[in-house]
Structure 1
Amino acid sequence: MADPFSITVSALALAVSSVTAWLTLFRRGTVEMTQPTVIFFGPDTPRSQNETPLPKIFLRTLLFSTAKRGRVIESMHIALSRNETHQNFNIWVYGDDKLVRGSGLFVGETGIAANHHFLAPRDENSFHFTEGRYKLEVFAHLLGDKAQTRLFSQTLEISRDIGASLKEPGTGLYFDWGPDSSRYLPHVEQRPPSSDPQKFLELLGLK
């Protein structure tokens, strides 16, 4: 007759092995992102003074996978809406010291922290950041998934005074996350963020 204790131990060991195998080999998981420390609305750095700069959204965040085996991001974009106006920023470039065009990014469970630049399409130079309440949503298309995954959603406000300032050439708006106030604090600058403007333009096919 089998020992009940041995059977119990064997059953527990099998259960633990099954759970471990599911977590490491079979569970697909998803990709999530942390609260961005900074979000930027403004123009990109144009190739020459005669060209109209493309509208750009910049943010810094950590992307991480909920599965141990990681996931692959095929593409990312930002959907920005204000009242009845909707604009997709579908040109995605990321990196810190070196910028690369976003495509086929592997995200492991330990995560990837980087700057992300999103530009509107080249034929959307008519879009401008003006006064109003904006809803910003970050989407990623994961390899093997049919539907896109919404990674982040945030409502941001551009006041009348800030909206007037953004009409000045080369002026952008930064939203810095305030940990004490638990909200984004806006301030205006005339320096669009770009780690390497020349390589960034080459990646976009603008140089």
Structure 2
Amino acid sequence: MTDPIPLTVSVLALAVSAITAWLTLFRRGTVRMTQPTVIYFGPDTPRPGGRDGNPKIYLRALLFATSKRGRIIESIHISLSRSETHQNFNIWVHGETNKLVRGSGLFVGETGVAANHHFLMPEDGSHFKWLAGHYQLGVHTRLVGDKAHKLLFSQPLEVTSDLAAQLDRPGVGLYFDWGPDSSRYLPHIEQCPPLHDPEQFIETLGLTPHVER
């Protein structure tokens, strides 16, 4: 007669091995994003000649994978809607202030990747202006192996008439800082957009500086 105890132990060991293999080797998981601590609306760093850069959205957050094997991000873009107006910010640049790179493939492991993310409009995009109103911001990603984009984060934001009037001035940016006690984003205006090396940022985008004569 077969002893049930060794058989039970063997079955449990096999089950644990199968679960471990599924979690580490076969389970694809997905990518998620933490609540951004800050969101920025405004112009990019001024271009050569003193001109304001294109409209930009900036945020800082942690991207992490829900599986041990991690996932690869092909691209990230931001969609911004106000009333019947919809605009995509599809030029993605990420990294730290002193080392920004053009987003084109990013491996995200289970421990996550924390970075600054800059999103700009395409050079041939439609004219866009920061107007007063209720905005809906969405952060979308495309993962390698997935057929559809995934919504990482969605947030309504309000731009008052006073904030919009200040945004209309050169070199002015609007910051939304997350307030943990109020559980909402608190807006404030600053004169300068997020700092980085303008020449390095232009090089990252693959743009050739044009100097007006």
Contact 2:56 2:121 in 1 (8 A): yes
Q: How does 1:29-40 map to 2 (within 5 A)?
A: 29-40=29-40
Matches within 5 A, 1:126-141: 126-141=127-142
Aligned pair 1:63/2:63, yes or no? yes
SS across alignment from 1:61: strand
Q: Normalising by structure 2, what TM-score?
A: 0.94
Matched residue of 2:36: which SS? coil
2:76 is paired with a residue of what secondary structure? strand
How far apart, in 2, do the equivalents of 1:125 and 1:60 lie? 26
Q: Distance in 2 between matches of 1:163 and 1:52?
A: 16
TM-score (norm 1): 0.97
Q: Which residue of 2 aligns with 1:17?
A: 17
Q: Distance in 2 between matches of 1:48 and 1:196?
A: 12
Q: Distance in 1 between matches of 2:49 and 2:81?
A: 29
For structure 2, the residue ranges without an aligned partner over 5 or more in a row are none
State whether residues 99 and 196 of structure 1, in contact with CA within 8 Å, keep that contact through their aligned partners in structure 2. no
Counterpart Cα distance in 1 of 2:144 and 2:135:
29
Quote how far apart the aligned CAs of 1:198 are: 1.5
Identity, % of aligned pairs?
68
Residue by residue over 1:130-150, the C-alpha shift from the partner in whole angstroms, topping out at 9 and shown as x without a partner, is 100000000110011111111
Cα distance between partner residues in 2 of 1:160 and 1:98: 36
Corresponding letter in the other structure for 2:191: Q
1:86 paired residue number: 86
Q: Which residue is 1:105 aligned to?
A: 106
**Runs (4+) off by over 3 Å:** 49-52
- Number of residues paired by the alignment? 207
Unaligned runs of 5+ in 1: none
Verify the 8 A CA contact 2:136 2:154 in the aligned structure 1: yes
Aligned to 1:100, the other structure's residue is in SS state strand
Q: Counterparts of 1:93 and 1:176 in 2: how far apart (Å)?
A: 21
